[in-house]
Amino acid sequence: MSDWDFLHDMHNEGYSPDQIMDAAACGYNPAEVDIDALGYSSDDWEVIDDEYISEHFSVNPELVSIFESLVVNAESFYALTNRYLQIWGELGELFAEIEYGIKRHKPHTKGSDGKLGNDFIEVKTISPEKNKDQVKVKRAGNFNKLLIIKINKDFTFESLIIARKDLPKGEGKYATASWSNSENRK
């Protein structure tokens, strides 16, 4: 019996393809794990809306204003000091929330940063300071899609989404995704 036979068992027991895909992504059947027994209270978890998010999602205008202010302040700080503020990850995740309508998980949630429709999204940001246009992502993460946000030296933002199945195969702890080898840029 292999480590992945539980996926066949889930299929035989009538689990949906999405539930089986989530189990394959995290390496176990989430329905069989008692989160409360592991010391986590299910009362503390954010309820995630599984409805399909259309192109016309609504974004909190205050969030947009804060994001724009953070970008302006980071740019002003750099112009004054020739140093970057180290807020790249948060800027990338805010951009993902505003541009794509991603519903972010609570802080410190392991495995992914948010959800878009039925997809768990991992957000990685490439800052202007990086020498290489690539990111590393944990293979063990619970995500279906990788969203790479690239912040350019002029503080403009670009993005691309890579399906997990399209990440390079390998056996290490991390998979490396390269910006230059991808085509689905926004």
Contact criterion met (CB below 8 Å) for 154 and 174 = no
Contact criterion met (CB below 8 Å) for 22 and 142 = yes
What local confidence, expressed as pLDDT, does residue 54 receive? Answer: 43
What local confidence, expressed as pLDDT, does residue 14 receive? Answer: 74
Pinpoint the alpha helices (H) of 16-160.
17-26, 61-81, 88-100
What local confidence, expressed as pLDDT, does residue 53 receive? Answer: 41
What local confidence, expressed as pLDDT, does residue 50 receive? Answer: 40
Query: What pLDDT tens digit does each residue of the chain (186 aa) get?
Result: 566 677 777 777 777 776 777 777 666 666 666 656 666 555 555 444 444 344 556 788 899 999 999 999 999 999 999 999 999 999 999 999 999 999 999 988 888 899 998 899 999 999 999 988 999 999 888 899 999 999 999 999 999 999 988 888 888 899 999 887 555 555
d(CA 106, CA 30) in angstroms, rounded, equals 19
What local confidence, expressed as pLDDT, does residue 170 receive? Answer: 82
pTM of the predicted structure, to 2 decimals: 0.67
d(CA 128, CA 84) in angstroms, rounded, equals 9
Contact criterion met (CB below 8 Å) for 121 and 103 = no
What local confidence, expressed as pLDDT, does residue 37 receive? Answer: 66
Angle made by CA atoms 71, 74, 59, in degrees to the nearest 5 = 20
Angle made by CA atoms 151, 154, 159, in degrees to the nearest 5 = 25
Q: What are phi and psi of 43, to 5 degrees?
A: -70, -25
What local confidence, expressed as pLDDT, does residue 36 receive? Answer: 64
